[in-house]
Amino acid sequence: MLFVPGNNPGMIQDAYIYGSDSIMFDLEDSVSVGEKDSARCLVYEALTNLDYGTKETVVRINSLESGLGISDLEAIVRARPNVIRLPKTEFAADVTDCEKEIERIEKKAGIAVGTTKMMAAIESAIGVLNAKEIAFSSKRLIGIALGAEDYVTNLKTNRSPEGTELMFARSMILHAARAAGIAAIDTVYSDVNNEEGLIAEATLIKHLGFDGKSVINPRQIAPIHKIFTPTEKDIKKSMAIMEAIAEANRKGSGVIALNGKMIDKPIVERAKWVLKLARVSGVLKDMEE
Protein backbone atom coordinates (compact mmCIF):
# COMPACT_ATOMS: atom_id res chain seq x y z
CA MET A 1 0.00 0.00 0.00
CA LEU A 2 1.73 3.14 -1.28
CA PHE A 3 1.14 6.31 0.76
CA VAL A 4 0.59 9.34 -1.48
CA PRO A 5 0.33 12.81 0.10
CA GLY A 6 -2.98 14.37 -0.89
CA ASN A 7 -1.31 17.72 -1.57
CA ASN A 8 1.24 16.38 -4.09
CA PRO A 9 -0.21 16.61 -7.64
CA GLY A 10 2.78 14.90 -9.26
CA MET A 11 2.63 11.83 -7.03
CA ILE A 12 -1.14 11.64 -7.29
CA GLN A 13 -0.98 11.67 -11.08
CA ASP A 14 1.82 9.09 -11.34
CA ALA A 15 0.89 6.83 -8.40
CA TYR A 16 -0.40 4.01 -10.62
CA ILE A 17 2.91 3.50 -12.46
CA TYR A 18 4.99 2.34 -9.50
CA GLY A 19 3.54 -1.15 -9.18
CA SER A 20 1.92 -1.07 -5.75
CA ASP A 21 -1.19 -3.18 -5.19
CA SER A 22 -2.97 -0.38 -3.35
CA ILE A 23 -2.69 3.42 -3.43
CA MET A 24 -3.57 5.36 -0.29
CA PHE A 25 -4.17 9.07 -0.79
CA ASP A 26 -3.50 10.80 2.52
CA LEU A 27 -5.52 13.77 3.76
CA GLU A 28 -4.29 13.46 7.34
CA ASP A 29 -0.74 13.57 8.72
CA SER A 30 1.11 14.37 5.50
CA VAL A 31 -1.03 17.44 4.80
CA SER A 32 -0.65 20.67 6.79
CA VAL A 33 -3.72 22.35 8.26
CA GLY A 34 -3.56 25.15 5.73
CA GLU A 35 -3.66 22.71 2.82
CA LYS A 36 -6.46 20.41 3.99
CA ASP A 37 -9.17 21.91 1.76
CA SER A 38 -7.04 22.01 -1.37
CA ALA A 39 -5.76 18.46 -0.78
CA ARG A 40 -9.33 17.19 -0.41
CA CYS A 41 -10.30 18.81 -3.72
CA LEU A 42 -7.19 17.48 -5.42
CA VAL A 43 -7.84 13.89 -4.35
CA TYR A 44 -11.51 14.19 -5.32
CA GLU A 45 -10.58 15.40 -8.80
CA ALA A 46 -7.98 12.65 -9.19
CA LEU A 47 -10.39 9.87 -8.23
CA THR A 48 -13.12 11.17 -10.52
CA ASN A 49 -10.94 11.97 -13.55
CA LEU A 50 -7.88 9.70 -13.53
CA ASP A 51 -7.83 5.99 -14.30
CA TYR A 52 -5.92 3.94 -11.73
CA GLY A 53 -6.81 0.68 -13.45
CA THR A 54 -7.04 -2.31 -11.14
CA LYS A 55 -5.23 -0.62 -8.27
CA GLU A 56 -7.12 -0.53 -5.00
CA THR A 57 -7.78 3.11 -4.13
CA VAL A 58 -7.82 4.12 -0.47
CA VAL A 59 -8.22 7.56 1.11
CA ARG A 60 -7.09 8.26 4.64
CA ILE A 61 -9.41 10.92 6.01
CA ASN A 62 -8.95 13.10 9.05
CA SER A 63 -10.68 11.88 12.20
CA LEU A 64 -14.27 12.95 12.82
CA GLU A 65 -13.14 14.53 16.09
CA SER A 66 -10.79 16.85 14.22
CA GLY A 67 -13.70 18.69 12.63
CA LEU A 68 -12.34 17.83 9.18
CA GLY A 69 -13.49 14.25 8.81
CA ILE A 70 -17.08 15.00 7.77
CA SER A 71 -15.92 17.39 5.04
CA ASP A 72 -13.49 14.72 3.86
CA LEU A 73 -16.25 12.11 3.70
CA GLU A 74 -18.72 14.44 1.94
CA ALA A 75 -16.25 14.83 -0.92
CA ILE A 76 -14.42 11.53 -1.00
CA VAL A 77 -17.35 9.10 -0.71
CA ARG A 78 -18.81 10.75 -3.82
CA ALA A 79 -15.50 10.16 -5.62
CA ARG A 80 -16.01 6.43 -5.02
CA PRO A 81 -12.65 5.12 -3.81
CA ASN A 82 -12.57 1.46 -2.89
CA VAL A 83 -11.78 2.13 0.76
CA ILE A 84 -11.93 4.89 3.39
CA ARG A 85 -9.15 4.55 5.94
CA LEU A 86 -9.80 5.82 9.45
CA PRO A 87 -6.82 7.21 11.37
CA LYS A 88 -6.11 6.71 15.07
CA THR A 89 -8.91 4.22 15.68
CA GLU A 90 -9.31 3.43 19.37
CA PHE A 91 -12.84 2.11 19.81
CA ALA A 92 -15.39 0.18 17.77
CA ALA A 93 -17.56 3.32 17.96
CA ASP A 94 -14.95 5.18 15.89
CA VAL A 95 -15.71 2.79 13.05
CA THR A 96 -19.48 2.70 13.46
CA ASP A 97 -19.74 6.49 13.76
CA CYS A 98 -17.85 6.89 10.50
CA GLU A 99 -19.91 4.13 8.90
CA LYS A 100 -23.13 6.00 9.67
CA GLU A 101 -21.79 9.10 7.94
CA ILE A 102 -20.67 7.08 4.92
CA GLU A 103 -24.09 5.43 4.63
CA ARG A 104 -25.81 8.82 4.89
CA ILE A 105 -23.68 10.21 2.07
CA GLU A 106 -24.10 7.09 -0.09
CA LYS A 107 -27.89 7.41 0.17
CA LYS A 108 -27.78 11.13 -0.58
CA ALA A 109 -25.48 10.63 -3.57
CA GLY A 110 -27.39 7.68 -5.02
CA ILE A 111 -24.57 5.24 -4.33
CA ALA A 112 -25.54 1.71 -3.35
CA VAL A 113 -25.28 1.39 0.42
CA GLY A 114 -22.25 -0.68 1.35
CA THR A 115 -20.24 0.22 -1.74
CA THR A 116 -17.60 2.12 0.22
CA LYS A 117 -15.41 -0.21 2.28
CA MET A 118 -13.43 0.77 5.35
CA MET A 119 -10.04 0.16 6.94
CA ALA A 120 -9.07 1.12 10.47
CA ALA A 121 -5.58 2.23 11.47
CA ILE A 122 -4.68 1.42 15.07
CA GLU A 123 -2.11 3.82 16.49
CA SER A 124 -2.33 3.82 20.28
CA ALA A 125 -2.17 1.52 23.29
CA ILE A 126 -5.92 1.65 23.84
CA GLY A 127 -6.52 0.95 20.16
CA VAL A 128 -4.30 -2.13 20.33
CA LEU A 129 -6.10 -3.40 23.42
CA ASN A 130 -9.43 -2.90 21.61
CA ALA A 131 -8.24 -4.47 18.34
CA LYS A 132 -10.71 -7.36 18.50
CA GLU A 133 -13.74 -5.11 19.02
CA ILE A 134 -12.54 -2.82 16.23
CA ALA A 135 -12.02 -5.73 13.84
CA PHE A 136 -15.57 -7.02 14.40
CA SER A 137 -17.24 -3.58 14.40
CA SER A 138 -18.50 -3.38 10.81
CA LYS A 139 -19.15 -5.56 7.77
CA ARG A 140 -17.62 -2.77 5.69
CA LEU A 141 -14.26 -3.24 7.40
CA ILE A 142 -11.87 -5.09 5.08
CA GLY A 143 -8.76 -4.69 7.20
CA ILE A 144 -6.96 -3.17 10.15
CA ALA A 145 -3.52 -1.61 10.02
CA LEU A 146 -0.78 -0.68 12.46
CA GLY A 147 0.38 2.93 12.59
CA ALA A 148 3.70 2.62 14.39
CA GLU A 149 4.92 6.20 14.75
CA ASP A 150 1.97 7.40 16.82
CA TYR A 151 1.88 4.08 18.66
CA VAL A 152 5.47 4.18 19.90
CA THR A 153 5.04 7.84 20.86
CA ASN A 154 2.02 6.83 22.90
CA LEU A 155 4.13 4.13 24.56
CA LYS A 156 6.81 6.76 25.33
CA THR A 157 9.49 4.91 23.41
CA ASN A 158 11.09 4.85 19.95
CA ARG A 159 11.22 2.43 17.04
CA SER A 160 14.15 0.05 17.12
CA PRO A 161 15.75 -1.86 14.24
CA GLU A 162 14.52 -5.12 15.78
CA GLY A 163 10.94 -3.89 16.25
CA THR A 164 10.70 -5.38 19.74
CA GLU A 165 8.44 -2.53 20.88
CA LEU A 166 5.93 -3.37 18.10
CA MET A 167 5.65 -7.12 18.67
CA PHE A 168 2.70 -6.98 21.06
CA ALA A 169 0.75 -4.58 18.82
CA ARG A 170 1.49 -6.61 15.72
CA SER A 171 0.35 -9.80 17.43
CA MET A 172 -2.86 -8.23 18.72
CA ILE A 173 -3.75 -6.69 15.36
CA LEU A 174 -2.94 -9.85 13.45
CA HIS A 175 -4.98 -12.09 15.75
CA ALA A 176 -7.92 -9.67 15.70
CA ALA A 177 -7.85 -9.53 11.90
CA ARG A 178 -7.66 -13.30 11.54
CA ALA A 179 -10.49 -13.82 14.02
CA ALA A 180 -12.68 -11.38 12.07
CA GLY A 181 -11.64 -12.73 8.68
CA ILE A 182 -10.18 -9.44 7.43
CA ALA A 183 -6.73 -8.29 6.31
CA ALA A 184 -3.84 -7.22 8.54
CA ILE A 185 -1.55 -4.55 7.09
CA ASP A 186 1.77 -3.64 8.69
CA THR A 187 3.15 -0.15 9.27
CA VAL A 188 5.57 1.81 7.10
CA TYR A 189 9.34 1.44 7.31
CA SER A 190 10.42 5.06 7.46
CA ASP A 191 14.16 4.75 6.66
CA VAL A 192 13.77 4.72 2.89
CA ASN A 193 17.53 4.42 2.27
CA ASN A 194 17.90 1.28 4.39
CA GLU A 195 16.80 -1.53 2.07
CA GLU A 196 18.42 -4.18 4.26
CA GLY A 197 16.35 -3.03 7.23
CA LEU A 198 13.20 -2.93 5.12
CA ILE A 199 13.77 -6.48 3.91
CA ALA A 200 14.37 -7.71 7.45
CA GLU A 201 11.19 -6.10 8.76
CA ALA A 202 9.07 -7.24 5.81
CA THR A 203 10.40 -10.78 6.21
CA LEU A 204 9.43 -10.71 9.88
CA ILE A 205 5.89 -9.48 9.33
CA LYS A 206 5.29 -11.95 6.51
CA HIS A 207 6.43 -14.75 8.82
CA LEU A 208 4.06 -13.46 11.49
CA GLY A 209 1.21 -13.71 9.00
CA PHE A 210 0.52 -10.16 7.80
CA ASP A 211 -1.09 -9.71 4.40
CA GLY A 212 1.00 -6.75 3.32
CA LYS A 213 2.92 -3.65 4.25
CA SER A 214 2.52 0.08 3.81
CA VAL A 215 5.29 2.00 2.03
CA ILE A 216 6.17 5.67 1.69
CA ASN A 217 8.58 5.42 -1.23
CA PRO A 218 8.14 3.60 -4.55
CA ARG A 219 11.61 2.04 -4.14
CA GLN A 220 10.23 -0.03 -1.28
CA ILE A 221 7.60 -1.78 -3.41
CA ALA A 222 9.77 -4.27 -5.31
CA PRO A 223 11.59 -5.69 -2.24
CA ILE A 224 8.28 -6.24 -0.46
CA HIS A 225 6.73 -7.90 -3.49
CA LYS A 226 9.72 -10.22 -3.68
CA ILE A 227 9.33 -11.25 -0.05
CA PHE A 228 5.58 -11.88 -0.29
CA THR A 229 5.73 -13.70 -3.63
CA PRO A 230 5.97 -17.50 -3.20
CA THR A 231 9.21 -19.09 -4.36
CA GLU A 232 9.31 -21.61 -7.22
CA LYS A 233 10.07 -24.33 -4.67
CA ASP A 234 7.01 -23.43 -2.59
CA ILE A 235 4.80 -23.32 -5.68
CA LYS A 236 5.94 -26.71 -6.97
CA LYS A 237 5.44 -28.27 -3.55
CA SER A 238 1.92 -26.82 -3.31
CA MET A 239 1.07 -28.01 -6.82
CA ALA A 240 2.29 -31.49 -5.89
CA ILE A 241 0.07 -31.49 -2.81
CA MET A 242 -2.98 -30.53 -4.87
CA GLU A 243 -2.15 -33.19 -7.45
CA ALA A 244 -1.84 -35.79 -4.68
CA ILE A 245 -5.32 -34.83 -3.49
CA ALA A 246 -6.71 -35.11 -7.02
CA GLU A 247 -5.08 -38.51 -7.46
CA ALA A 248 -6.50 -39.77 -4.17
CA ASN A 249 -9.96 -38.58 -5.20
CA ARG A 250 -9.66 -40.37 -8.56
CA LYS A 251 -8.78 -43.60 -6.74
CA GLY A 252 -11.44 -43.09 -4.11
CA SER A 253 -8.81 -43.22 -1.40
CA GLY A 254 -9.37 -41.51 1.93
CA VAL A 255 -5.66 -41.50 2.68
CA ILE A 256 -3.58 -38.79 1.04
CA ALA A 257 0.21 -38.95 1.08
CA LEU A 258 3.10 -37.27 -0.69
CA ASN A 259 6.67 -38.59 -0.60
CA GLY A 260 5.72 -40.88 2.26
CA LYS A 261 4.19 -38.11 4.39
CA MET A 262 0.52 -37.76 5.27
CA ILE A 263 -1.26 -34.68 3.95
CA ASP A 264 -3.82 -33.27 6.37
CA LYS A 265 -6.19 -30.29 6.14
CA PRO A 266 -3.80 -27.54 7.42
CA ILE A 267 -1.20 -28.57 4.82
CA VAL A 268 -3.84 -28.42 2.08
CA GLU A 269 -5.04 -24.99 3.19
CA ARG A 270 -1.48 -23.64 3.16
CA ALA A 271 -0.93 -25.09 -0.32
CA LYS A 272 -4.10 -23.41 -1.59
CA TRP A 273 -2.98 -20.08 -0.09
CA VAL A 274 0.47 -20.34 -1.68
CA LEU A 275 -1.07 -21.00 -5.10
CA LYS A 276 -3.52 -18.13 -4.67
CA LEU A 277 -0.65 -15.75 -3.88
CA ALA A 278 1.32 -17.12 -6.81
CA ARG A 279 -1.57 -16.47 -9.18
CA VAL A 280 -2.24 -12.90 -8.08
CA SER A 281 1.52 -12.24 -8.19
CA GLY A 282 1.64 -13.53 -11.78
CA VAL A 283 4.41 -16.07 -11.15
CA LEU A 284 2.24 -19.17 -11.43
CA LYS A 285 1.02 -18.07 -14.85
CA ASP A 286 4.62 -17.56 -15.96
CA MET A 287 5.58 -21.07 -14.74
CA GLU A 288 2.61 -22.67 -16.51
CA GLU A 289 3.51 -20.91 -19.77
In whole numbers, what is the pLDDT of the chain averaged over residues?
94
Q: What is the pLDDT of residues 165-219, one digit of tens each?
A: 999 999 999 999 999 999 999 999 999 999 999 999 999 999 999 999 999 999 9
Q: Report pLDDT for 289.
A: 47
pLDDT of 288 > 60? The answer is no
Q: Report pLDDT for 149.
A: 95
| pTM, 2 dp | 0.91
Q: What domains sit in the chain, N to C, each tagged with a CATH number?
A: 2-228 (3.20.20.60), 232-288 (no CATH)
Q: What is the pLDDT of residues 85-113, one digit of tens each?
A: 999 999 999 999 999 999 999 999 999 99
Contact call for residues 20 and 58 (beta carbons, < 8 A): no
String of DSSP letters for 142-210: EEEEE-HHHHHHHTT----TT-GGGHHHHHHHHHHHHHHT-EEEEPP---TT-HHHHHHHHHHHHHHT-
CB atoms within 10 A of CB 208: 14
Position 286, amino acid: D
